[in-house]
């Protein structure tokens, strides 16, 4: 099946509910990281509404419990079961525990959680720059740890939530953690989002024989989300005014979750892997950032970059004091 078979009615204004309409996910299990707010909640809602049993993998389990209780009241009959699991992507020990506690196959993994543009340089407990450590390395450790469960599903899908922000920077392999160059919240965010795309490219190549597909996406410009909780909003306003930041039109949270749900569950993308999507369609390549409000940079889909990042990520994860070598 090809990307051209995605219905033309799907686009920027499509909602997650419209994507999932008519899809039956009973008997399938899903994990959605960061599912206590924003598009994570709406992604979990759509998958559960179609019958999938969904684990909300969240830092704050109290918040996750509240979301699960609310969704259970709102979901239609015969929806899938909702559970809550603790997962702090900055703390590798919680990733290890989450992986160790998982039993049985996993059909859908949505790597949705993230942090965006902290104004000051911060690091995870294992010394990584926070955005790279959380947005990429935490999800890398989670996905590779869950690989046996994904392989056991016989047709699993991995969804890597990236961003148009990847246009701000490629992965700078010689200084991943800003130990030599001055910290910049936007190039740091861009590097981590490029890494999200490259992870999908790398997983698609390595795990195809296990029946696993992996794709990345840009959800859209969504105001109602906790992603920007660390951001200096004056800095954002100044950045936009300078012309350095171009943004596509705003979406609702329900529209923002649509591309994630498409890649997680729609039969129209069966067999498609290693791609980058936006507005429920495969993105077109762009050759420069200036003025771009859509598209994907070639460096984010480059297989050599993906291979290099995979090797580096494996090395960094093995070095973690909380994970076995």
Q: What residues are labeled active site? A: 189
**What is the number of alpha carbons within 13 Å of residue 317 lying toward its C-beta?**
20
Q: Cβ contacts of residue 15 below 8 Å, gap of 6+?
A: 252, 254, 255, 257, 258
> How far is 219 from 19, CA to CA, in rounded Å?
14
| Residue 51 and residue 27 in contact, taking contact as beta carbons nearer than 8 Å | yes
Tallying the residues shown for the chain, one arrives at 325
Residue carrying the six token digits 């039956």: 24
| C-alpha to C-alpha distance for 240 and 323, rounded to whole angstroms | 40
CA distance 137 to 113: 12
CA–CA separation, 261 vs 270, rounded Å? 13
For residue 107, report the phi and psi dihedrals to the nearest 5 degrees. -90, -30
Sheet of 29-33, strands arranged across: 82-86, 53-58, 29-33, 108-111, 157-161, 213-218, 276-278, 281-282
Distance in angstroms between the alpha carbons of the first and the last residue of the chain: 40
Residues 155, 27: Cα–Cα separation, whole Å: 13
Distance (Å, rounded) from C-alpha 82 to C-alpha 62? 14
């Amino acid at each position: 099946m090809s990307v051209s078979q995605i219905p033309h009615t799907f686009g920027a204004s499509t909602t997650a509910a419209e994507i999932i309409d008519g899809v039956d996910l009973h008997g399938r299990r899903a994990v959605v990281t960061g599912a206590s707010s924003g598009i994570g909640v709406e992604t979990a809602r759509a998958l559960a509404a179609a019958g999938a049993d969904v684990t909300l993998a969240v830092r704050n389990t109290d918040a996750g419990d509240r979301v699960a209780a609310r969704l259970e009241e709102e979901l239609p009959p015969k929806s899938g079961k909702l559970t809550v699991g603790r997962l702090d992507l900055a703390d590798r020990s919680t990733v290890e525990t989450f992986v160790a506690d998982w039993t049985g196959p996993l059909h859908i993994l949505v790597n949705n959680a993230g942090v965006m543009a902290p104004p000051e340089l911060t690091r995870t407990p294992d010394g990584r720059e926070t955005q790279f450590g959380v947005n990429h390395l935490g999800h890398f450790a989670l996905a590779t740890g869950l690989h046996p469960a994904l392989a056991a599903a016989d047709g699993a899908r991995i969804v890597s939530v990236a961003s148009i922000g990847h246009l701000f920077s490629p992965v700078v392999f010689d200084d991943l953690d800003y130990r030599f160059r001055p910290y910049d919240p936007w190039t740091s965010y861009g590097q981590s989002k490029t890494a999200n795309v490259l992870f999908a490219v790398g997983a698609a190549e390595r795990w195809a024989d296990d029946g696993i597909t992996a794709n990345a996406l840009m959800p859209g410009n969504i105001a109602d989300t906790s992603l920007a909780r660390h951001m200096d909003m004056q800095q954002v306003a100044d950045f936009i005014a300078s012309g350095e930041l171009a943004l596509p039109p705003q979406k609702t949270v329900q529209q923002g979750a649509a591309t994630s749900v498409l890649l997680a569950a729609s039969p129209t993308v069966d067999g498609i892997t290693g791609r980058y999507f936006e507005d429920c369609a495969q993105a077109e390549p762009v050759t420069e950032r200036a003025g771009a409000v859509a598209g994907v940079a070639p460096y984010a889909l480059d297989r050599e970059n993906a291979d290099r990042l995979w090797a580096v990520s494996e090395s960094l994860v093995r070095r973690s004091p909380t994970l076995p070598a």
